């Protein structure tokens, strides 16, 4: 085969191979916020999770047109509000409810020179699973068959749920307060006076007898 013809065939094969490469984007989490801002999460509390995601083009477009993004959460009774921005200008808005929400690829597919991002807000209740991790949001790309696109790394944000606080209580023993008994007060007696009177009487009698004897 002549070198010129071989080179031409190789050029065709390489061009076909490049065209066959999927055009896609890298999903980048720019910012995430949880309100109320408590860490760890309080069981059965209602929280708002807001995630700002940008698409970094890997080829000719910002996203594969036939693919879609899947977003998941473990929050109970979750509601979703997604707003897409193109070059900083608000675009399509997609509300949803439940544990999953989706964004169609055609809403994200633009030329690689465009700036495409979206902000998603989830409102839901923290599961009553103390001490365990709860999935706040997972964003992954699905291919045209609905399978996980393995060439794109999913975004996952999880936080722990607060464990119950163990309170140690000490049983208090009831105290009985007793008023000290007053010492009995002994009333003064006339015993001392009674003991002196007989002695005086005897002395007086002796004196009278003595006087009578002298007079005789």
**CATH code of 86's domain:** 2.60.40
Q: Which residues does 179 contact at the CB level (< 8 Å), separation at least 6?
A: none
Could you give the number of structural domains in the chain?
1
Flag whether 146 is in a domain. yes
Is residue 108 situated within a structural domain?
yes
CA distance 53 to 115: 11
Check residue 88 and give its pLDDT. Answer: 95
Q: What is the pTM of this model?
A: 0.66
pLDDT at res. 136: 98
pLDDT reported for residue 103: 96
Q: State pLDDT tens for residues 167-188.
A: 666 665 555 555 555 655 555 5
Confirm whether 2 is domain-assigned: no
| Residue range of the domain that includes 121 | 22-160
**How far apart (Å, rounded) are the C-alpha atoms in residues 193 and 72?**
109
Identify each DSSP E strand in the chain by its residue range. Answer: 25-35, 46-57, 68-72, 76-86, 89-97, 100-104, 116-125, 133-142, 155-160
């Amino acid at each position: 085969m002549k070198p010129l013809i071989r080179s031409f065939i190789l050029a065709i094969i390489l061009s076909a191979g490049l065209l066959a490469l999927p055009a896609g984007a890298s999903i980048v989490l720019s910012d995430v916020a949880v309100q109320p801002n408590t860490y760890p999460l309080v069981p059965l509390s209602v929280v708002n999770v807001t995630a700002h995601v940008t698409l970094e083009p890997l080829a000719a477009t910002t996203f594969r047109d036939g693919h879609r993004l899947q977003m998941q959460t473990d929050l109970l009774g979750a509601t979703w509000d997604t707003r897409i921005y193109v070059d900083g200008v608000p675009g399509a808005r997609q509300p949803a409810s439940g544990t999953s929400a989706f964004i169609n690829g055609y809403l994200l597919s633009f030329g690689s020179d465009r700036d495409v991002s979206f902000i998603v807000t989830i409102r839901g209740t923290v599961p009553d699973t103390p001490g365990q991790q709860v999935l706040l949001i997972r964003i992954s790309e699905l291919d045209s068959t609905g399978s996980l696109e393995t060439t794109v790394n999913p975004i996952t944000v999880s936080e722990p749920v607060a464990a119950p606080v163990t309170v140690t209580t000490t049983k208090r023993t009831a105290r009985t307060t007793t008023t000290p008994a007053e010492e009995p007060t002994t009333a003064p007696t006339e015993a001392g006076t009674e003991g002196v009177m007989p002695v005086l009487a005897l002395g007086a009698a002796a004196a009278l007898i003595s006087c009578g004897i002298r007079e005789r």
